[in-house]
Amino acid sequence: MPGLLESIKALILDLDDTLYDCSGSLVHARRLKAAGVIAKALGCTEEEAYRLQKGKESSPKDNLYEEIANCYSLPSTFVEDVYKAMKEVDISGIRPFPGVAECLRDLKERGLRLILVTAGQPLEQKEKIRLLGLGKLLDEVIVVEKRNDSKRACFQDVLDRYGLRAEEVLCVGDKMEDELRIAKTLGMSTALVQHGRHYESFASSLCQKGPDIYIKSVAELSRLLPTRQPSQ
């Protein structure tokens, strides 16, 4: 492992379930809100609607609520109603995982570039970063659409703009079949955070293509990355 990380000059970091506990603090509450809308639209119980969301989550489709709408021929306003209900969940209480802020500060002081790439609604994702108090520790924050091609183009753009070789970048996230798979195809090193619903799905699957390293928390990177950074 030390040899793998010796040349790292920059980190591309995911946000949800990587820097804070999204699955525990937000996902369950939002599923409950969405379940009310789904139950009303399908004429089922909220418990059934909740299970339907969980069943669709591992689908290759970009948006599970659009998939539900298409599957059950629901009106065009259905997805809008779901998101309106989900926005009622208060996100003000989110906090970084223990040691994350200290780790990012340490890595920044060592001269590493810290670039956050997250998918979702730009205003909400940036508000999360503000609430987490991590903005000043990051060199750049990029919010992309929820499509793999968008992240691939974004990662390549990061390499080009910062003058980095792929082997000088460590991509850190909780989704093997999203950001980490893309990073591996570009030649970057990858670290999978062993937390959250996406990691649980990966761990229970028969997938053999894993990351370069597994970490329990981003905070471990202070210890794993070399104290002396390669020359720029």
pLDDT digit string, tens, across residues 138-180 = 999 999 976 666 899 999 999 999 999 999 999 999 999 899 9
β-pair type (113-119, 140-144): parallel
Predicted model pTM = 0.86
User: According to the model, what pLDDT value does residue 207 have?
Assistant: 65
Cβ neighbors of 105 (< 8 A, separation 6 or more) are: 137
Mean residue pLDDT of the chain comes to: 91
Please report the sign of the dihedral spanned by the C-alpha atoms of residue 135, residue 31, residue 177, residue 212: positive
> Which residues is 110 bridged to in the sheet?
none
pLDDT of residue 3 exceeding 80 = no
Helix, strand or coil for residue 121?
Answer: coil
Question: Are the C-beta atoms of 20 and 95 separated by less than 8 Å?
Answer: yes
* 176-195 pLDDT per residue, tens: 989 999 999 999 999 999 99
* Closest by CA position to 187, among listed 209, 173, 171: 171
Residue with tokens 């390549």: 156
* 32-59 pLDDT per residue, tens: 999 999 999 999 999 999 999 988 876 5
- How distant is the alpha carbon of residue 13 from its chain centre? 8
pLDDT of residue 102 exceeding 80 = yes
Mean pLDDT within 56-75: 81
User: According to the model, what pLDDT value does residue 144 have?
Assistant: 92
Question: Are the C-beta atoms of 20 and 94 separated by less than 8 Å?
Answer: yes
User: According to the model, what pLDDT value does residue 78 have?
Assistant: 97
> Which residues is 145 bridged to in the sheet?
none
Mean pLDDT within 101-118: 97
Enumerate domains of the chain plus CATH numbers.
2-21+95-224 (3.40.50.1000), 24-86 (no CATH)
Long-range Cβ contact pairs of 61-69 (< 8 A, separation 24 or more): 62/146, 62/147, 63/146, 65/34, 68/38
User: According to the model, what pLDDT value does residue 150 have?
Assistant: 87
The C-alpha atoms of residue 58 and residue 69 are separated, in whole angstroms, by 16
CA atoms within 13 Å, Cβ hemisphere of 27: 13
The C-alpha atoms of residue 14 and residue 35 are separated, in whole angstroms, by 27
- Greatest distance between any 2 Cα atoms in the chain: 62
